[in-house]
Amino acid sequence: MRAVSLHRDVIVVTSQVFQAHCTLVRGPSANDDAQERMEASGAEAPPPREETFAIDSPVLPEELELLGALVEQAGFAQPQGLLATHADWDHVLAPLAFPEASLGCAQSTAERLRAEPGAPQRALRRFDEELLIERPSPLSLGSVQALAVPGRCGVGDAELELHPATGHTGDGMAVWIPWARVLVSGDYLSDVELPGLRPPEAWLQTAGYPAQDALEEYLATLQRLHPLVAATEHVVPGHGSVLDREAALRVLDEDVAYLQALRERGAEAELPQRRRGKVQRELHEQNVARLAA
C-alpha cells in the first residue's frame, strides 16, 4: 500500500490490487489561513471542526487494517463518514476499516444496494476465495445514507461537491474537493482501463430509473466532469495513476474519442494508444457486445 499527500487536507492511499484508491479528506484546515488572520488581528475565531471522510477503499485485509494508523500518523481525525463513488464491491470496503463510521453514497447507489442485497459481499467472497485471502470479519455496510446528487456534503467547515457519474454503472457519483482542487472520479478517467459500459441492470427499472443507453450516459458524465478536470490539480480515478490536469484532460479526450468511435464503428473502433493490451481488447469486445444487445 502506498500513501501520497496531494494537499495538506488530502491523502491518497493506493492498494496493491487493481491500483484501487482510497482518498482521505479532512475539512477543518481549509479555514486555517482565515483563522490565522483573525488571530493576528486580535479577533477571536471559533475553532475549526475536525472531521475526516474516507472516499472508496483499498482492497487487501492488511491495507484496511493499517488505514486507521495511517490516518492517525497523518494528523487527521479518524473518519466519521465514508463515501462510496458507486456500489461495485471494491469501492465499499471502508467499513471494514472504520466500522463505526456511516457510509454515504448517491441515492442511485443506495437504490442499487437495496435492489441487490448482499451483492458486494458475494463478490468479495468470490475474490477472496480465488486468491485464498482470509479476512478477520465479514463485510457489513451498516446503515447506508443516501445523498442527493448533484448536491453537497459537509466535511468539517467545508463542503464536498457531489456530481452524477453513470455509464460505467447505472449508479454513482464523482466527488469534487474544491479547496484542494482534487476530483475523485470513481471508475472514470483511468489511464489503464478503457471506458467499460455497464451491462443491462434490472434494478434500474425496478428502482424507477429510466433505462438509458450506457454509452450516452458515459459521454454525458465525461461532459459534466470536463470543467472540473480543467480546474483541477489532481484527479483520483477508481483505478490507475493519480493524474495531473494535463494528463487527465488527455485521458478524457481519449475516452470521448473512443466512445464516439465505438458508437460509429463498433468493433473497428480504435483503442487509445496506451490501452491496447489483451485485457483492454477483451473489454472492448464486451462493450461491442453490450451495444449490440
What's 216's DSSP letter?
Answer: H
What is the predicted pLDDT for the residue at 143? 86
* Grid cell digits, residue 103: 457510509
Which has the closest alpha carbon to 183: 195, 193, 174, 171? Answer: 174
Task: Sort residue 213 into left (φ over 0), alpha (ψ -120 to 50) or beta.
Answer: beta
H or E stretch at 206: helix 202-206
- For 33, list phi and psi in degrees, rounded to 5: -65, -45
- Output the nine-digit C-alpha cell for 245: 490536469
* Whole-prediction pTM: 0.90
Domains defined for the chain, CATH in brackets: 2-292 (3.60.15.10)
Instruction: Compute the radius of gyration of the chain from its Cα atoms.
Output: 19
Confidence of residue 39 (pLDDT cuts 50, 70, 90): very low
For residue 140, pLDDT beyond 90: yes
Contact 214, 290 (CB under 8 A): yes
The predicted-structure confidence for 153-206, as pLDDT tens digits, reads as follows 999 889 999 999 999 999 999 999 999 999 999 999 999 999 998 876 766 766
